[in-house]
């Protein structure tokens, strides 16, 4: 099945005497799409908004240790902060230290008459700048609870006696959000969809990509292998640039490497993308007593988001082809050029960040 005809040039001038409104829209659609993507460059910084992490641990003396990991946004910590019950008092000043793309703060509080179990916790800050916050609460008897506080619901009451097994859903949701807002991973998958025109081959290619990044995600998250994040992110941008070039130069007589061996290319680059996923997961944090489950659920969420994106991409190309066979043909090169430009921008931005 062919999604786009990359080796043919659309003859836009033929038969356009007195064009209808539909033809005018078709003519300007690729240009408008390309301009909108290029103008979005400042906003398309992949994984720009990482979740914050709040951990509350009860000590034998009934005090509560607070760990607050606050992600950076455009070089500055997000203007959000946790809010505790009114009778909680700080026993120590926050000990602040940088941690990758986040600011880490630790301090102790006296919960007074409001113990950790049953306390209401909320996140305050400008609503337009709030991000998800992963809340982890631990009692001294070993019980724990995990919640995700979202911009539309930034508060929760910690209840240890209620059903607390929300880890499955929470980390699945985090995984879905990461892939949906991970524009670099999505552009890579989009390029695979455009290159691999047979659906069964596409299924095998996406499966190879999935298996590869699942392996390196697990290896890196468990600490068995460590690669610095900035070089990984730069190579991920290069992988998109590589696929974009292959889309532009391929012909039926001279197919590119990815078109000839799609699963091998997807497998190779998938290993690198897995390290990128691991970096995002480390920013969120993992509960020490449930690392395998949280890792599995995060990966499930990533795959669900990825499959949803592939399904939407295929559905759109099929729909536009039925509306007008020319739309996919005319839009192909502008989309690929815009993807390549964005990938090149990311590559330069990330390489320059090595010395920032």
pLDDT digits 0-9 by tens, 221-235: 777 887 777 788 889
According to the model, what pLDDT value does residue 285 have?
A: 63
Residues with Cβ within 8 Å of residue 126, at least 6 apart in sequence: 79, 80
Average pLDDT over residues 258-273: 90
According to the model, what pLDDT value does residue 93 have?
A: 92
Comparing 289 with 313, the larger pLDDT belongs to: 313
Instruction: Give me 244's structure tokens.
Output: 């974009």
Nearest alpha-carbon partner for 114 in 55, 68, 64, 170 = 64
Comparing 288 with 118, the larger pLDDT belongs to: 118
Pick the most confident of 33-37, 74-78, 156-160.
156-160
Rounded Cα gap, residues 83 and 140, in angstroms:
22
Q: Is the pTM of this model over 0.75?
A: no
Rounded Cα gap, residues 218 and 297, in angstroms:
12
pLDDT band per the 50, 70, 90 thresholds, residue 284: low
According to the model, what pLDDT value does residue 267 have?
A: 92
Rounded Cα gap, residues 147 and 83, in angstroms:
15
CB 113 within 8 A of CB 87: yes
Which segment of 119-128, 240-249, 281-290 scores lowest on mean pLDDT? 281-290
According to the model, what pLDDT value does residue 243 have?
A: 93
At residue 309, φ and ψ (nearest 5 deg) are -65, -45
According to the model, what pLDDT value does residue 166 have?
A: 59
Average pLDDT over residues 171-187: 81
| C-alpha distances in Å from residue 134, one per residue of 148, 163, 326 | 5, 17, 46
According to the model, what pLDDT value does residue 180 have?
A: 78
| C-alpha distances in Å from residue 225, one per residue of 211, 215, 235, 241 | 17, 11, 17, 26
> Does position 18 have pLDDT exceeding 80, yes or no?
no
CB 158 within 8 A of CB 118: yes
pLDDT band per the 50, 70, 90 thresholds, residue 286: low
C-beta atoms surrounding 304 within 10 Å: 16
Instruction: Give me 152's structure tokens.
Output: 């539309």
CB 209 within 8 A of CB 158: no
Comparing 42 with 174, the larger pLDDT belongs to: 174
Instruction: Give me 157's structure tokens.
Output: 């009451």
CB 174 within 8 A of CB 248: no
């Amino acid at each position: 099945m062919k999604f786009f005809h990359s080796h043919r040039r659309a003859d836009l001038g033929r038969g356009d005497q007195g064009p209808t409104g539909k033809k005018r829209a078709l003519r300007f659609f690729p240009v408008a799409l390309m301009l909108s993507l290029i103008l979005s460059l400042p906003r398309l910084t992949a994984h720009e908004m990482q979740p914050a992490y709040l951990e509350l641990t009860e000590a034998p003396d009934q005090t509560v240790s607070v760990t607050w990991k606050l992600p950076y946004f455009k070089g500055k910590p997000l203007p959000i902060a946790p809010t505790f019950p009114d009778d909680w008092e700080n026993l120590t000043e926050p000990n602040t230290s940088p941690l990758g793309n986040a600011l880490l703060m630790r301090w102790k509080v006296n919960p007074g008459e409001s113990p950790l179990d049953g306390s209401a916790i909320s996140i305050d800050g400008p609503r337009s700048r709030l991000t998800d916050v992963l809340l982890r609460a631990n009692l001294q008897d070993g019980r724990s609870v995990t919640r995700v506080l979202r911009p539309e619901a930034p508060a929760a009451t910690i209840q240890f006696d209620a059903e607390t097994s929300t880890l499955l859903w929470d980390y699945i949701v985090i995984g879905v959000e990461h892939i949906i807002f991970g524009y670099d991973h999505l552009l890579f998958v989009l390029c695979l969809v455009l290159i691999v025109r047979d659906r069964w081959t596409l299924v095998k290619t996406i499966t190879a990509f999935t298996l590869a990044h699942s392996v390196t995600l697990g290896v890196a998250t468990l600490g068995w292998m460590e690669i610095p994040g900035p070089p990984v992110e730069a190579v991920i941008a290069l992988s998109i640039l590589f696929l974009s070039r292959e889309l532009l130069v391929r012909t039926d007589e001279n197919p590119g490497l990815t078109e000839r061996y799609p699963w091998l290319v997807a497998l190779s680059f998938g290993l690198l993308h897995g390290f990128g996923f691991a970096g995002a997961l480390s920013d969120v944090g993992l509960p020490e007593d449930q690392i395998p489950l949280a890792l599995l659920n995060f990966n499930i969420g990533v795959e669900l988001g990825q499959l949803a994106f592939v399904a939407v991409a295929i559905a759109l190309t099929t729909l536009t082809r039925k509306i007008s066979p020319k739309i996919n043909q005319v839009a192909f090169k502008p989309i690929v050029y815009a993807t390549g430009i964005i990938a090149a921008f990311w590559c330069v931005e990330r390489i320059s960040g090595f010395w920032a």
